[in-house]
Homo-oligomer: A and B are copies of this chain.
């Protein structure tokens, strides 16, 4: 079964909105073993849409469209789909009633442009919209599946999970299945990994091997095709064993939900330790990322966002003289922040960050991107210095990641020892 996604969104082409919809749809399709082959983003021009619909229809068994369904004049998907399938537009009282009901619940006035939603292509199936007024459109024809959903993420997502995926899952029973699996490495370069994996041919007899480098580490991805879920999973298992034979000691986690935050949480949980944070330049990003993990209250105790110098002194007990002498962005203050956080809480380990996030505030001595990370336990105090070359938001993300890596390093020193050429 071949499938693809069409995103209708001028705002994506204009760089105004990041397209996360196709990402979600792609994940859902992977979930039923049918990854998409193509994503196409186009503008809301009727002719362009018609051409894209036609090409996709010839290329793929499943075409999932998002965007261009709504109450305003720039929403053209319904009209173009009706034209493409040659379906007349009719008035559907059941749709109007559903919209009326939803608006009543939310105590909103029903206006004319909302009433327009009840105009619907004859013979197509409306996909109920849990969060908005525009129904999706579902068409099955010649063994092919066409689904159009609004571009608002919450509306599209509920249509995917409640309607589209259950239907497609049934249709692809007994068909070939694609599965993949990710192995997350830490502390080793992509090209070194590549050379260490000199059994690639054997691996690839089972599953396709791909390398995904990022500043958090290189991910090894295995993708297998099988006649069934079990067959594909067995191929993945075999390939994974071959990979682990060669580079197992660099693998710190696996799966799609892997994150450094999870590994840190697991290590803290194993020790029965609690982490506390003291952040300046990252302004809460580190604690935000840690508390992204469900259950993080078991190992994350509290955090401070000591943005002002006074707050560093008042909340964490960093001596005012220390800040005056070395500056807020200094190894001394980073360490004092971590020590203070430890002292003023019941945490067992503290991470701190102080840096110049940019774009302003840099000097020759302390440039934008400079960050000091502090680490403190009852027995150890240390810091690490980084200079990140990116923009404010990326520098802040990298800083938070570097703090987590520093903890990882301290908790799992054997990995670093084997990989001196750390990224």
Contact = CB atoms under 8 A, between A and B. Distances in A.
Contacts of A307: 287, 291, 296-297, 300-303
Contact of A37 (B13, B189, B286): B13
Contact of A308 (B71, B302, B421): B302
Given A20-B18, A108-B421, A302-B305, A72 B190 contact: yes
A195 B297 CA distance: 47
Given A109-B421, A302-B304, A12 B39 contact: yes
A194 interface: yes
Contacts of A287: 283-284, 305, 307
B26 A14 contact: yes
Residue from A109, A133, A180, A210 having most chain B Cβ neighbours under 10 A: A210
A211 interface: yes
A294 B210 contact: no
Number of identical protomers? 2
Nearest to A7: B39
Given A13-B39, A284-B285, A294-B357, 12 more contacts: A10-B221, A14-B35, A14-B180, A15-B29, A38-B40, A38-B42, A74-B211, A112-B195, A113-B194, A154-B215, A292-B392, A301-B310
11 contacts: A14-B26, A40-B41, A71-B191, A72-B190, A111-B195, A152-B214, A287-B305, A294-B360, A302-B306, A303-B307, A311-B345
Interface of A: 10-20, 22-30, 35-44, 48, 70-74, 107-109, 111-114, 131, 133, 152, 154, 180, 182, 189-192, 194-195, 200, 208-215, 219, 221, 223, 256, 277, 279, 282-288, 290-292, 294-297, 300-308, 310-311, 315, 345-346, 357-360, 389-390, 392-394, 396, 421
